[in-house]
Amino acid sequence: MQTVIEIRDKIKSGQMTAVEAVKQALDKAKQTADYNVFLCLNEQRALRRAAEIDARLASGEEVGVLAGVPFVNKDNILAFGDDGDQGTTSAASKFLGNFKTPIQATVIERLESAGAIAIGQANLDAFAHGSSTENSAYGVTKNAVDAERVAGGSSGGSAVAVALDIVPFALGTDTGGSIREPASFNGVLGFKPTYGLVSRFGAVAMASSTDTIGCFTHNATDADLVMSVMAGQDQRDMTTYASDYQLATELPNKPKIAVIKQFMSEANDPEVLQNTREMIDKLKNAGYQVDEIDIEEVKYALAIYYIVVSAEVSSNLARYDGVRYGVRSAQATDLASMYANSRAEGFEIENKRRIMIGSFVLSSGYFDAYYLKAQKVRTLLMQRLNQVLADYDFLVGPTVPMPAFKIGENVADPMKMYLADVLTTPANLAGLPAVSVPIAPTTDGLPVGFQVIAKQDADAQLLAFVKQIEELK
């Protein structure tokens, strides 16, 4: 596996050109087409930008800390493509199948300014609604380790692109675990930053109070470098804040670690639980203080999430009506049928399910009983997590209760699918940074993720700790 640092250094030293690095990535993308990772490849633009970087290097110009490094973008983040620098961003939906991006997302602009080169748009669950990348309008993405299993979601394509070594890093979005879960399923590192650390301008909104943009890499050092480029305030996203992100260094003291008792439930797959315990034992044997802490409030996180997030989904998807942009039904005979038919044809089943849940919890007579109550309990959860993180540096546990499941196994059971998010949603609801680190696989060779959560704006410290974990594995 080639890392970000390795490829960057080879290009800067002249051992490899940016064009060669991009061609290698494009070749691997084509060779692994059966995994259905990509919705589109932007070959012409990528090769043109690579040639420009090579020319600048040859002339002695400064080209940025990611000079020539190819990456993959999740297809709900606006990015230019081959079509006159106007790409297609569909969010893996029929609704946006013909949508041409007029702008680029802030994260793409920042990565390109640092010399990184996007080679294509990765598959996902349509509108990022899902935990398996089975809800894409353009087919299922297969797991990188076992092609009969799901990639995880919603950022499945991005995770698989890194796991297959097509690119050394990829972008994803994480609203309730959509980076960490596919990272766990495919055996790569998946990082979700503090809410507001990275601009979401140019990302297709799912749930505005929990949406974050993060990355997949092979290690914490690469994630740290990518984060240092993406982080920072953006006037186009009012949720961002001023942050002087510094590359992770050695932690001054051995951190105190809390194991969330509720995360270690026997409801987890036995091997996931055992491998997590073994990782915790390694930390203890290495001299870290590790205590088990009861955080009763986390058991309500999944219910809170699917009430609050579905409400925000319902609101955000109201803009897709066949009028302003996106697909307009050919079956429309009047305004009402245009709305109804466009939405029926453009949305996938899971999109419709979440819209209906969200509309219900926001409706008159149910708002107080569901949405308002969920927000109150969310506040209690946030307070409790912050209280624990005042005494401990990091919270740990499994990332997902189970290894990757078989394609089609849970499609007919949405509740079983939603339960895949039970351990990841607390960090999103509280706006905390979190990461999934690959640890020992199951006896069948299926990847297992170890989740670490930190206090707000402690992203660099979190990655510094992950570097220590990587040394123990």
Q: In what order do the strands lie in the sheet with 169-173?
A: 38-41, 117-122, 70-74, 169-173, 213-217, 189-192, 434-439, 448-454, 394-398, 256-260, 289-293
Contact 251, 214 (CB under 8 A): no
Of 1 and 223, the one with more pLDDT: 223
- From 131, 158, 178, 436, the catalytic residue: 178
Is 282 tagged catalytic? no
Domain borders along the chain are 1-295+381-473, 303-368
Judge if the upstream peptide bond of residue 154 is cis by omega within 30 degrees of 0. Answer: yes
Whole-number mean pLDDT of the chain?
Answer: 96
Is 178 tagged catalytic? yes
Contact 381, 307 (CB under 8 A): no
Contact 49, 112 (CB under 8 A): yes
The amino acid at residue 446 is L
Contact 168, 71 (CB under 8 A): yes
Is 23 tagged catalytic? no
Cα separation of 439 and 447, whole Å?
7
Determine if the pTM surpasses 0.75: yes
At 272, the pLDDT band (50, 70, 90 cuts) reads very high
Of the candidates 162, 217, 151, the residue with the CA atom closest to the CA atom of residue 185:
151
Candidate from 24-38, 63-77, 87-101, 456-470 with smallest mean pLDDT: 87-101
Cα separation of 277 and 282, whole Å?
9
Cα separation of 373 and 192, whole Å?
27
Q: What's the confidence (pLDDT) of residue 99?
A: 87
Q: Helix, strand, coil shares of the chain as percentages rounded to 5? A: 45, 15, 40
For the segment 376-399, what is each residue's pLDDT rounded down to a tens digit?
999 999 999 999 999 999 999 999
Separation in Å, CA 18 to CA 30, 46, 110, 264, 265: 19, 10, 18, 45, 48
Question: What is the fold, at CATH topology level, of the domain defined by 1-295+381-473?
Answer: Amidase signature (AS) enzymes (3.90.1300)
Neighbours of 292 (CB within 10 A): 11
At 360, the pLDDT band (50, 70, 90 cuts) reads very high
- Displacement of CA 187 from its chain's centroid (Å): 14
Of the candidates 328, 324, 317, the residue with the CA atom closest to the CA atom of residue 355:
317
| Residue 438, H or E segment | strand 434-439
Cα separation of 145 and 444, whole Å?
10
- From 90, 131, 154, 314, the catalytic residue: 154
For the segment 71-114, what is each residue's pLDDT rounded down to a tens digit?
999 999 999 988 666 678 999 999 999 888 889 999 999 999 99
